[in-house]
């Protein structure tokens, strides 16, 4: 588990937004993927980070990709994982 | 809000006599306080709704009966905005019960079966309503299973379980005699399931979310009032995120809907004027299918003419598909869900995968939701590139072909396996080439940068993307009207191969 998951995720999202030609700033509850701001390749990048850095098990049948649509949801997922 | 919508901010105050200024005013009205206030008045609401219905009526993608259903729904959601979910469930339910199938062959066959059975009444709509209610009852049990996990295997893999049922029953329709009760029973379930398969998939996915919508809301998505094809525009979980929560939000969403509806009408009529009346009517260029058939018969024109026909058809299709998806999204927005556009400037794409996402956003989302992510989550975790490539293959190839076959599952039993599968040769090649293109684009295509220069940034990447998709459309067909062999001959003729 990295020292600061929040910083790691925030930086990753900002970089993905810049790569997609958008502003790096985002609200915690703002939809990132469903809104079309980021595409599925960006989702793949983020999922890989969640899996590799935060140890989230993507193959868990209860995991839904919708759970990473906002920064707040990702942090909730990360804290659930840390508590488990 | 999409990146495109974000550009539509109000500009400086401008003269009403300047067309460009008027355009800016129109595009920026969803950010204009006075327009937003007006959109909340009864007059504003009436004008927006009437404008939308007029635009939808001007685009002949929606039948008169469907338009009447839409108009009633719009009226009710306008009068009862806080009861939007119930209105959609009631009207969507009525739509599903009276018109459960998306193709006329299934409709006619069902009516034939029902008139033979003659249970209580031979009225065909009584039959669809009765079977529809039984279908909804089973769906409610499945939804409950998603919530409580009584059958964990089904709850963990709802779409795969549904597919297993569909494939088994389709198999039965292939071996049982058509006049037997076994065939009829299996076929009716197949026909109902085929026309709602991915809608139900989204419903079951939403039912197991942490904040799952109510059963009433979920049932409104079996056949939402806007659905005029078998491609769902996502599901109830997605819509919940975009629902307007305040009167101001609703006004903004409706204004965005009206703008998009007008844009859809402009696109449709531009395509009609340029291509139907101009290119085919005045210049006499034959339709694309006619050019393919003539070339295959050895009676075609020059190679240059074939290339012109190819690009004309490509541009016309982009405009018409854009008009149809914009019309549906506009309707959804006026109802009160500020969902993103279904097509966003595809011709501006610089990579193949970017075009795929911009051209048919909601179909791409469907393939991602049902095929790409489930594969990515489970397969080849230790091999990053192979993991992406395989997930893309499962979505763009397997999912793409399977989508058409699932939606057409009732036809297998009626026309036989051989005759039905022949229709898919062309589409299978299309999906294969598309998959190769997207995988190459995702893994190896370098994204152009502004510092690469005008040609390498603005021109060349777009020429490659448009050229690729224009050529690909030769095979983008699962109707089987123009045979696969003829399409292949036409494709080769473009490169001078006789």
pLDDT at B14 over 50: yes
Domains and CATH numbers, chain A: 5-83 (1.10.1200.10)
Residues 6+ apart with CB under 8 A from B65: none
Residues 6+ apart with CB under 8 A from B415: none
The per-residue pLDDT for range B367-421, each reduced to its tens digit, is: 999 999 999 988 998 898 999 999 999 999 999 999 999 999 999 999 999 999 9
pLDDT at B452 over 70: yes
Residues of B in contact with A41 (CB under 8 A): 353, 388, 442
> Is residue B482 included in any domain, yes or no?
yes
> Is residue B102 included in any domain, yes or no?
yes
Sequence-distant contacts of B7-11: CB under 8 A, at least 24 apart:
B8/B259
pLDDT at B283 over 80: yes
Do residues B159 and B289 both lie within one domain?
no
- In angstroms, the CA B63 to CA B83 distance is 26
8 Å CB contact between B43 and B49:
no
**Mean pLDDT value across residues B19-44:** 94
The per-residue pLDDT for range B211-242, each reduced to its tens digit, is: 889 999 999 999 999 998 889 999 998 999 89
- Reported confidence tier of residue B444, pLDDT bands at 50, 70, 90: confident
- What is the percent of chain B with per-residue pLDDT over 90, rounded to a whole number? 78
- In angstroms, the CA B259 to CA B38 distance is 15
Dump the DSSP string for A21-81. Answer: TS-S---TT--SSTTSSS-HHHHHHHHHHHHHHH---TT-TT--GGGGSSHHHHHHHHHHH
Minimum distance, in Å, between the CA of residue B377 and any CA atom of chain A: 5
* Cβ within 8 Å, pair B2-A35: yes
- Helices B424-443 and B400-407 pack at an angle, to 10 degrees, of 150
| Model pLDDT, residue B190 | 97
Mean of the per-residue pLDDT values of chain B: 92
pLDDT at B52 over 50: yes
HSE-up (13 A, CA, CB side) for residue B166: 27
| Model pLDDT, residue A2 | 59
* Cβ within 8 Å, pair B208-A63: no
- DSSP state letter for B489: H
Residues of B in contact with A39 (CB under 8 A): 353-354, 357
pLDDT of chain A, 84 residues: tens digit per residue: 556 888 999 999 999 999 888 899 999 989 898 888 888 788 888 998 888 888 888 777 667 777 888 999 899 888 887 776
Domain count across chain B: 2
Residues of B in contact with A37 (CB under 8 A): 2-3
Do residues B298 and B433 both lie within one domain?
yes
Residues of A in contact with B205 (CB under 8 A): 64, 66
pLDDT at B3 over 50: no
* Cβ within 8 Å, pair B373-A34: no
> Is residue B9 included in any domain, yes or no?
no
Do residues B204 and B332 both lie within one domain?
no
> Is residue B331 included in any domain, yes or no?
yes
> Is residue B59 included in any domain, yes or no?
no
Count Cβ–Cβ pairs < 8 Å, chain A vs chain B: 59
The per-residue pLDDT for range B233-278, each reduced to its tens digit, is: 999 989 998 999 999 999 999 999 999 999 999 999 999 999 999 9
| Model pLDDT, residue B15 | 63
Residues 6+ apart with CB under 8 A from B382: none
Q: What are residue B243's phi and psi, to 5 degrees?
A: -70, 135
Do residues B184 and B99 both lie within one domain?
yes
**Mean pLDDT value across residues B466-470:** 97
In A, minimum Cα distance to B240 occurs at A34
8 Å CB contact between A37 and A20:
yes
Task: Decide if A76 touches B, using CB distance below 8 A.
Answer: no
Question: Among B84-98, B111-125, B270-284, whose mean pLDDT is lowest?
Answer: B111-125
Question: Among B47-61, B250-264, B445-459, whose mean pLDDT is lowest?
Answer: B445-459
8 Å CB contact between A68 and A43:
yes
Do residues B206 and B254 both lie within one domain?
no
Residues of A in contact with B156 (CB under 8 A): 61
Minimum distance, in Å, between the CA of residue B156 and any CA atom of chain A: 6
pLDDT at B8 over 60: no
In A, minimum Cα distance to B338 occurs at A35
| Model pLDDT, residue B28 | 93
Nearest Cα to Cα of residue B52 among B281, B314, B258: B258
Tokens 């669809």, residue located:
B128
* Cβ within 8 Å, pair A35-B381: no
HSE-up (13 A, CA, CB side) for residue B217: 19
* Cβ within 8 Å, pair A35-B340: yes
- DSSP state letter for B372: I
Contacting A with CB below 8 Å, chain B residues are 1-3, 156-157, 205, 208-209, 234, 237-238, 241-242, 340-341, 344, 353-354, 357, 361, 364, 368-369, 372-373, 376-378, 381, 384, 388, 391, 442
| Residue range(s) defining the domain that contains residue B87 | 83-241
pLDDT at B7 over 80: no
pTM for this prediction: 0.90
Do residues B137 and B259 both lie within one domain?
no
* Cβ within 8 Å, pair B238-A34: yes
Minimum distance, in Å, between the CA of residue B214 and any CA atom of chain A: 18
């Amino acid at each position: 588990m990295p020292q600061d998951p929040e910083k790691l995720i925030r930086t990753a999202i900002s970089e993905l937004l810049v790569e997609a030609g958008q502003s790096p700033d985002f609200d915690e509850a703002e939809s990132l993927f469903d809104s079309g701001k980021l595409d599925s390749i960006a989702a793949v990048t983020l999922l890989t980070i969640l899996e590799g850095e935060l140890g989230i098990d993507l193959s868990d049948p209860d995991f839904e990709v919708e759970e990473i649509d906002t920064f707040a949801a990702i942090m909730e997922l990360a804290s659930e994982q840390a508590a488990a | 809000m999409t990146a495109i919508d974000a550009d539509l901010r109000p500009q400086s105050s401008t003269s009403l006599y300047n067309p460009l200024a008027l355009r800016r005013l129109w595009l920026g009205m969803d950010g204009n306080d006075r327009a937003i206030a007006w959109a909340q008045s009864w007059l504003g609401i009436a004008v927006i709704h009437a404008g939308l219905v007029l635009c939808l009526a001007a685009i002949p993608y929606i039948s008169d009966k469907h338009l009447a259903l839409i108009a009633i729904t719009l009226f009710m959601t306008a009068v009862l905005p806080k009861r939007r979910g119930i209105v959609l469930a009631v009207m969507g339910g009525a739509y599903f019960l009276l018109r459960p199938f998306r193709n006329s062959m299934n409709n006619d066959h069902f009516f034939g079966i029902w008139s033979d059975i003659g249970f209580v009444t031979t009225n065909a709509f009584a039959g669809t309503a009765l079977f529809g209610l039984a279908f909804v009852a089973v769906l409610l049990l499945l939804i409950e299973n998603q919530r409580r996990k009584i059958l964990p295997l089904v709850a963990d893999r709802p779409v795969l379980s549904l597919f297993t049922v569909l494939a088994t029953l389709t198999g039965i329709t292939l071996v049982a005699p058509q006049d037997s009760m076994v065939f009829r029973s299996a076929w009716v379930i197949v026909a109902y399931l085929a026309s709602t398969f991915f809608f139900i998939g989204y419903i079951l996915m939403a039912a197991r979310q942490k904040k799952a919508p109510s059963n009433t809301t979920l049932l409104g998505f079996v056949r939402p009032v806007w659905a005029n094809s078998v491609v769902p525009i996502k599901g109830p979980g997605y819509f919940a995120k975009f629902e307007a929560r305040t009167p101001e939000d609703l006004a903004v969403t409706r204004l965005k809907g009206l703008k998009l509806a007008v844009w859809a009408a402009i696109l449709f009529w531009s395509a009609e004027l340029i291509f139907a009346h101009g290119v085919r009517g005045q210049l006499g260029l034959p339709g694309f299918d006619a050019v393919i058939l003539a070339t295959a018969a050895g009676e075609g024109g020059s190679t240059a003419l074939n290339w012109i026909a190819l690009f004309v058809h490509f541009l016309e299709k982009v405009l018409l598909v854009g008009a149809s998806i914009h019309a549906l999204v506009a309707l959804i927005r006026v109802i009160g869900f500020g969902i993103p556009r279904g097509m966003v400037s595809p011709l501006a794409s610089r990579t193949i995968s970017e075009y795929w996402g911009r051209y048919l956003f909601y179909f791409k989302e469907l393939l991602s939701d049902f095929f790409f992510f489930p594969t990515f989550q489970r397969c080849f975790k230790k091999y990053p590139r192979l993991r992406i490539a395989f997930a893309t293959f499962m979505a763009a190839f397997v999912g793409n072909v399977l989508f058409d076959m699932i939606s057409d599952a009732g036809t297998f039993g009626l026309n036989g396996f051989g005759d039905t599968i022949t229709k898919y040769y062309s589409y299978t090649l299309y999906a294969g080439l598309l998959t190769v293109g997207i995988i190459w684009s995702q893994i190896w295509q370098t994204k152009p940068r502004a510092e690469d220069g005008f040609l390498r940034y603005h021109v060349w990447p777009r020429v490659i993307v448009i050229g690729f998709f224009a050529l690909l459309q030769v095979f983008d067909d699962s109707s089987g009207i123009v045979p696969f062999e003829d399409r292949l001959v036409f494709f080769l003729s473009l490169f001078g191969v006789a």
